[in-house]
Structure 1
């Protein structure tokens, strides 16, 4: 398909530090919430690392201990456990192990060692990972380990019951400890998630407010080149992408990074050999991640561009659905949309293919690591070189290590999408207003200076082109236009379509700026006036009346709560709108659907008169206000026009010359130039262009 206004600029970078810096600028307002969220996240990470270690202690120390650390009296060579267990043997508790209170000069470390169902007390020996070299002497009184001989005593069933009772108590303590850690982790995770999402939503809220305000202040030339669907995508979808980046990528990536480092450190401390075995598949992970990053960036960029194109096309086609159905073009428009949608489908399938390969690859790497861990670690556990709790902890840590790596695909997807969204949003925010307010605006009315608004309009040799840099006279829409509208005068603009009538109206409201000449109101150049204050003095009634969803009275007052319901009813009666409003089921509270589709063209036009008049403007503009209206409604509208133009400077754009015969001055336009100027009788007497237009319309009306 051909390039259209809906084509999006492609974003090449998957990460841009300058864009991220600007995003962090918006995050400053929520630094306290985000800071607390990060602290809670660090606590959650620490707890995630601690929980498998607690499980390891429970298994190795108390549930299935191959060896158990105890402390015996140094001066008790026989270690008579049965005679006085509390005096001769210390079974350290969890708190004692942490605080080190058992480390006194009277006691020395010893080990309860279990082999072939028999438990021995090895006096003077500390816990060791080299139990495969442990050899019990034939007399059963001594044993050697790594060339060192230790005294050994067989533990009786009665003595063993005491040890088991202590172990059972410690398991209860560990269970309560584990439960407490899980509860703390739950509340920390809840606080982290809530504060992070709240802060992120506030950041996006502020950005969306700024973006919408910026769009509102842009000139009409901006909307000429930016379709509605694209702008809606910026304010909605793109903002959602940025919110996802804050909640699911930035802060959580810090957690993932710390969890990876912490897991690696803890595993290395517990057993360095098993750590190397677990991470032997990391080259596969790194290679896969590198390939994925490059492929995902390309497909994600395509998906983003084509999705925005779909949104823009949808908005345009839905707004033009009436024309599509009138001209029976549903099939053609559907085929165009089908081509765009098919193009999008191909990109999404390519994206799915990339992600479908990456995650199974990560699962394969994890499965290989787990398999190697079970093979080598399980063999060492059978030989006694590795305790069972260590193996269980390593299985948990391995899973914990690979989980954020597996989530990398989703996070990269969000990051890529968010960076593209952020860049497009900032491109929009960086677009300068073409209609710039003056630094020191001149007020049109200044009571302190004794100057009041009167509404005198003057166009002085005005040249204008919709092109930014017109090269020839043919590029100009208006060419040397000069006229004056005195206070209270009604000026009619007539001429063929494209002659420049509506352009004059847009320039007076300063929707565009002229290239040459000057436009003044009460002798003040409108470029020296605050554009918002300027428009407060101008009321406009367009041919295509736009009504907002809401009710009748809200469409008349337009969010100005100082306008009372009584004012609205008074104005509606004055412009002949009360007649149809009062017949509606809910009257002035009658709901108005989008664009006022349930009201006739004449009813919408009468509402627009009421809306213009209720603000009491000094200058009134009527742009084709009586076009496409039935005769009965036209009489009501014409009567309303005659009422509302009294005492106001009025510009009337009209094709029906019968509606402007009483205008103070009629200006005939052709190809951007003023060809004739005068009142109705003067122009007829000249027998020029106006005479030809009038004669043509009169003959058509007689013929019809």
Structure 2
């Protein structure tokens, strides 16, 4: 599946939650805007208020009438800052005041007579005491400019109260701006918390919906699909791949939006600051686009293989765990370890290829582009700054913004790997969803059938012309018991798979009560068929649950009656919790015979019209077998029963026995008729009886 189609499908899954997603992204926008606005408030607070004390001050001859509250009294003299004069509508000439400068040295402030250049504010200062005036210590401050010229100003050392007086008109704005800055931080945190919670919840809902749809779709797939697909691979797609997609809706989406906003804001600031440098910054965009293209081209190949290798590893683990008894019994732990080591090593090598690609093309490559761009800027524009083409301050600010410009790009690039993983994982999930489900019969729903089953010239092949059944024809009357016998591979189980609709008939037809099976809804037919397999599977839950099997229409009394009919009630009632006894995975705490009896009860509790027993008595001891035979005689009345058996002693009561060989019916009749024919059935029966005699004799 192409990336474009995968993205369209991902959008379709998110469409029902688009309001929540847009709401979360809007909150992300608000949170990011609040976060970006914070430094602007800090800039205003620092430049206009905290450092504003270093602006020119003017000594007044008398306290001004206008804006008198902005005049600061020190030693019976009044001082006003330059910006306060402008706000009051006054000029230096109108107040005829001497210009003053406030110098800071650490935590000490000095009020000096005269003007000091801006560049001298941050240069080294030399302080020397001079003759006191009016009982107040005075100091001479000497500064040296960049061109070597020295400037000396005299003044007084300010007390803490006097410094506070100079700040008296800035305290309230600083408090309000600090409160505003804190409010923006709080708002940003609240918006980000809500959007993360909202986006995470929405992503979980999307993945929950996707997993549910995938799980339901798996149940609709034909049995042939599961014959060819490892269980571990399917589990990996339902769990690991959907989890990778979840990261797309949470981390990748949020990172792209948030850092995209940062990039736009920084680009605007760059163009406001210096358009020429901003255009130079934009020249790096094609390089970044090319970098992303190369990364996506190669990483998509690696991630496709990685996800497949992960599925193979899960399949190996699943196979090993399911067959642990065989592995340990035959001491094959080392062989299994070597097999898993090979799969694990293959996965490791592919992962390393992906890591090498990521390590080369993501952050290191972006950092290289950033360093080259920075070098060019400093080399060219740094020298130009000496000719006043661009100020040092603008160059410094631009370098700082360039660093901020590439940081969001790095964040986005770091998320590209997750985006690629999610894209590949989505393609794997959608491949399953696009797998054609079991063919829905265009036929009608049927009520409980009488049970007449007719195979009319049925032929079947799993692969093209390799037929496993050839022109099979027989009729099962309602209430009859039909036994299928033959050597392994003769086609017995294939006949029952066709009857259950697991596979379509290649040639011929199957009739149920005179209706062609192709015209009957398969799911409707299966609701009237009971199945007991040779290797019974019990689900995690209780014994009662395993007999009921999600069918709430089956009452507790029905469960008990079904168990009694197959003599399972005898051992169930001896368990500590009876029918509420917990069943672990696969029912491994129960014996094979007990599991088989429960599976019998499960089939009979559903009251099927057609009963299929596929080697159902193979795991039952002789005593239990006799009890089941008695129950089957009763339960088969009114039901058409098909028995696949190797132990011929269990089918002597069958109304009709079909002997298959290489996909064809070679003999048919009841037990007595077949024994009289001196054919394949008689040889099989005598062989089994002889083997039993030898065994008993030994």
Q: C-alpha separation between the residues in 1 aligned to 2:111 and 2:227?
A: 88
The structural deviation recorded for 1:507 is 0.7
Alignment of 1:19-58 (within 5 A): 19-58=6-45
Question: Cα 1:223–1:640, aligned 2, differ >3 Å: closer, same or farther?
Answer: same
SS of the residue corresponding to residue 55 of structure 1 reads helix
Q: Which residue of 2 aligns with 1:652?
A: 643
Q: C-alpha separation between the residues in 2 aligned to 1:287 and 1:430?
A: 33
Question: Cα 1:430–1:295, aligned 2, differ >3 Å: closer, same or farther?
Answer: closer
Please, which moves more after superposition, 247-256 or 24-33?
247-256
Among 321, 339, 354, the alignment partner of 2:324 is: 321
Q: C-alpha separation between the residues in 1 aligned to 2:251 and 2:42?
A: 29
Q: Which residue of 2 aligns with 1:668?
A: 659
Among 319, 337, 345, the alignment partner of 1:334 is: 337
Q: Is the 8 A contact 2:459 2:505 kept in 1?
A: yes
Q: Which residue of 2 aligns with 1:555?
A: 546
Question: Cα 1:222–1:282, aligned 2, differ >3 Å: closer, same or farther?
Answer: closer
Among 455, 462, 484, the alignment partner of 1:466 is: 462
Q: C-alpha separation between the residues in 1 aligned to 2:282 and 2:43?
A: 20
Question: Cα 1:68–1:527, aligned 2, differ >3 Å: closer, same or farther?
Answer: farther
Q: How many residues align?
A: 635
Q: Does 1:86 align with 2:67?
A: yes
Q: C-alpha separation between the residues in 1 aligned to 2:551 and 2:100?
A: 87
CA offset digits 1:209-232 (Å, max 9, x no partner): 111111001110011111111111
Question: Cα 1:211–1:324, aligned 2, differ >3 Å: closer, same or farther?
Answer: same
Q: Which residue of 1 aligns with 2:128?
A: none
CA offset digits 1:128-153 (Å, max 9, x no partner): 99x99xxxxxxxxxxxxxxxxxxxxx
CA offset digits 1:73-105 (Å, max 9, x no partner): xxxxx98784246169799xxxxxxxxxx9999
Among 220, 223, 230, the alignment partner of 1:220 is: 223
Among 588, 600, 619, the alignment partner of 1:597 is: 588
Q: Which residue of 1 aligns with 2:598?
A: 607
Q: Is the 8 A contact 1:546 1:595 kept in 2?
A: yes
Alignment of 1:59-208 (within 5 A): 59-65=46-52, 82-84=63-65, 86=67, 163-208=166-211
Q: C-alpha separation between the residues in 2 aligned to 1:460 and 1:663?
A: 21
The structural deviation recorded for 1:696 is 1.4
Q: Is the 8 A contact 1:661 1:680 kept in 2?
A: yes
CA offset digits 1:333-390 (Å, max 9, x no partner): 221111111111122223333334443554566678889999999x999x995669x9
Q: C-alpha separation between the residues in 1 aligned to 2:391 and 2:48?
A: 15
TM-score (norm 1): 0.81
Q: C-alpha separation between the residues in 1 aligned to 2:52 and 2:89?
A: 25
Alignment of 1:622-633 (within 5 A): 622-633=613-624
Question: Cα 1:550–1:103, aligned 2, differ >3 Å: closer, same or farther?
Answer: farther
Alignment of 1:273-422 (within 5 A): 292-357=295-360, 358-362=362-366, 400-422=404-426
SS of the residue corresponding to residue 446 of structure 2 reads coil
Q: Which residue of 1 aligns with 2:491?
A: 500
Question: Cα 1:225–1:251, aligned 2, differ >3 Å: closer, same or farther?
Answer: same
Q: Which residue of 2 aligns with 1:436?
A: 439
Q: Does 1:541 align with 2:532?
A: yes
CA offset digits 1:266-285 (Å, max 9, x no partner): 24324657868988987886
Q: Is the 8 A contact 2:531 2:612 kept in 1?
A: yes
CA offset digits 1:504-527 (Å, max 9, x no partner): 111111011101111111111122
Question: Cα 1:428–1:685, aligned 2, differ >3 Å: closer, same or farther?
Answer: same
Q: Is the 8 A contact 1:82 1:159 kept in 2?
A: no
Unaligned runs of 5+ in 1: 1-10, 73-77, 92-101, 123-127, 133-153, 446-451
Question: Cα 1:277–1:107, aligned 2, differ >3 Å: closer, same or farther?
Answer: farther
Unaligned runs of 5+ in 2: 73-84, 94-98, 105-109, 123-154
Q: Tell me how large the CA RMSD over aligned residues is.
A: 4.1
Question: Cα 1:284–1:518, aligned 2, differ >3 Å: closer, same or farther?
Answer: closer
Q: Is the 8 A contact 1:444 1:524 kept in 2?
A: no
Q: Is the 8 A contact 1:33 1:196 kept in 2?
A: yes
CA offset digits 1:187-220 (Å, max 9, x no partner): 1111111111111111111111111111001110
Q: Which residue of 2 aligns with 1:260?
A: 263
Q: C-alpha separation between the residues in 1 aligned to 2:346 and 2:92?
A: 73
Q: Is the 8 A contact 2:296 2:420 kept in 1?
A: no
The structural deviation recorded for 1:657 is 0.9
Q: Does 1:582 align with 2:570?
A: no
Q: Is the 8 A contact 1:438 1:527 kept in 2?
A: yes
Q: C-alpha separation between the residues in 1 aligned to 2:285 and 2:430?
A: 38
Q: Which residue of 1 aligns with 2:129?
A: none
The structural deviation recorded for 1:597 is 0.9
Q: C-alpha separation between the residues in 2 aligned to 1:121 and 1:36?
A: 59
CA offset digits 1:496-551 (Å, max 9, x no partner): 11111111111111011101111111111122112111011111111110100111
Q: Is the 8 A contact 1:506 1:512 kept in 2?
A: yes
Comparing both chains, which one has the higher relative contact order based on Cα–Cα distances under 8 Å and sequence gaps of 6 or more? 1
